[in-house]
Structure 1
Amino acid sequence: MSMRIGFGGKRMKIINGRRSIELSSKPKSMQLDDIGAQLEVRRHPGARRLTLRVSRTRRAVIVTLPLQCDLDEAGTFLHRHIDWVRARLDSLPNQVPFENGAAIPLRGEPHTISFSGGIRARDAGIAIRNTRSTLPAIVVAGPTDLAPSRLTRWLWKEAQSDLEASVAHHANLLSLEAKRVVVRDQTSRWGSCSTTGALSFSWRLVLAPGFVLDYVAAHEVAHLAEMNHGPRFWKLVNKICPEFETAKQWLQVLGPDLHRYGPSHARAR
């Protein structure tokens, strides 16, 4: 087995169980080619011991080190637990890239992706085609090599539109105003509210049922008045989204699976 770990200007190479330190001008996030996952090595001032986890949303292997820990120890630690890492990665659901014929959810309903082709990019468009015998299709016209990124941009715009409408509705109920609504490709949270009143959301909410997106919008709108999760905050959420508990449960159980879907490489631009 061969892998590289990069952090803090040094790089450690592990080959057949033997370790050596190599100098590197920049820290790197490396790819574990033999198990198909990204490896991240982090130092944390509050860490008291080495920890290892597998991110379900990003399919990444994360090693956290105490500040005083040597990279040599990190390599040994990872090597000792590599079978556990493989088992965790194997338990994750398969990725679903945006490809012709792939099935993805849109607003909670299954759809198939159809790349209809075409020569001129200016003729490219996206439409929903409904049939009685098969799933609805998201038809992406134009050159097929550009279709995945075109579909991604379209989904971002659909998410932006849905979230702006939901935020405006809930903000009006509470006589509040969001300064800005932003859609991002974030993996650690579904939404966030800044102290300046800007709300940020994951574009993948457009894949979830509408009541789930609506709850996340209501949650962040309530933060415009209460920047905490205390009783007054949840009272506001309940006021504008009475069935929020159902949406919360949906996100806890099914939310991580939404991160399976996306373009193979580049993000939308």
Structure 2
Amino acid sequence: MTKPVLTGDPPIPLILRRSARAKRISLRISQLDGRVTLTLPKRLAEREALEFARSKEGWIRKHLDARGTDLDVSLGAEVPVGGHLLRLVPGQGRRVVIGPDSIAVPGPADRAGVRLAGHLKELARDRLAAASDTYAARLGKTYYRITLRDTRSRWGSCTSDGGLMFSWRLIMTPPDVLNYVAAHEVAHLAQMNHSPAFWAEVSRIYGDYEPPRRWLRAHGGSLHRYRFSN
């Protein structure tokens, strides 16, 4: 069966998903991998979904252009760490070493991306734990665990039993952005909502949270372009 595609330069593959709960066609572009997914009601003709996609082609291409192309992380590539672009270079010994303008990654060149990802996850856990400790102390609350994931739709979450979850890719953001997300999730220990009272807690333990929020809205999606699977 021919896979649906928006013709043009370049052609855009489409993923069609049917849902018994869908009342109308919905369109989503994944910031993680750039996939364009159309969800349509169970009995809707496929041609109607394709017509809908064609009517939104300009919007789709604009968002894909803004996201940029995926980048396979390998020696010679530049990767943001702490908000600064650093070039991957061959390393010596056993440790990944982050310098002012480069990251030295030892071992086989074809494993550089995987090796770097492992190091960044460890670094993210350390920094997010330190930030969460700081904001939890200011809030006067206790969290019980920290989990790191590579999430598509959120940078963090907080469970009712005090579990904090963060995207490890936060280590790629400027420090104030990582700190803001930690403060945001810690504030949920007091307010499990996004009410004015919640934002008052964020402001109290973090300060002016609007600049890092704006940074995430403008640049956060681009961090999912970096592929560490080589």
What is the TM-score of this pair, normalised by structure 1? Answer: 0.74
Distance 2:105 2:64 in 1: 32
Per-residue deviation at 1:105? 1.3
- Alignment of 1:164 onto 2:129: yes
Q: Which residue of 1 is the match for residue 38 of structure 2? A: 63
Distance 1:256 1:72 in 2: 30
Per-residue deviation at 1:101? 1.2
Which structure dedicates a bigger proportion of its chain to helix? 2
Per-residue deviation at 1:51? 2.8
Per-residue deviation at 1:190? 0.7
- Alignment of 1:4 onto 2:7: no
Q: Looking at both structures, which has the greater relative contact order when contacts are Cα pairs under 8 Å and sequence separation is at least 6?
A: 2
1:76-225 equivalences under 5 Å are 77-78=52-53, 80=54, 84=58, 85=60, 88-116=63-91, 123-130=93-100, 136-225=101-190
Cα pair 1:152 1:262 within 8 Å, conserved: no
- Alignment of 1:47 onto 2:12: no
Over 3 Å counting, the alpha-carbon distance change for 1:147 and 1:74 in structure 2 is same
Comparing 245-254 and 91-100, the one that deviates more: 91-100
Per-residue deviation at 1:47? 2.9
Cα pair 1:159 1:205 within 8 Å, conserved: yes
Deviations, residues 121-174 of structure 1 (Å, cap 9, x unaligned): xx53201234xxxxx110000111211111111111111111011001111111
Cα pair 2:156 2:166 within 8 Å, conserved: yes
Over 3 Å counting, the alpha-carbon distance change for 1:36 and 1:144 in structure 2 is farther
Distance 2:17 2:191 in 1: 32
1:4 match: secondary structure: coil
Distance 1:210 1:192 in 2: 19
Comparing 155-164 and 64-73, the one that deviates more: 64-73
2:170 match: secondary structure: helix
Q: What is the Cα-based RMSD across aligned positions, in Å?
A: 2.7
Whichever residue aligns with residue 250 of structure 1, its letter is W
1:33-44 equivalences under 5 Å are 35=11, 39-44=14-19
Over 3 Å counting, the alpha-carbon distance change for 1:215 and 1:82 in structure 2 is closer
Which structure dedicates a bigger proportion of its chain to strand? 1
Q: Which residue of 2 is the match for residue 28 of structure 1? A: none
1:94 match: secondary structure: coil
Over 3 Å counting, the alpha-carbon distance change for 1:194 and 1:257 in structure 2 is same
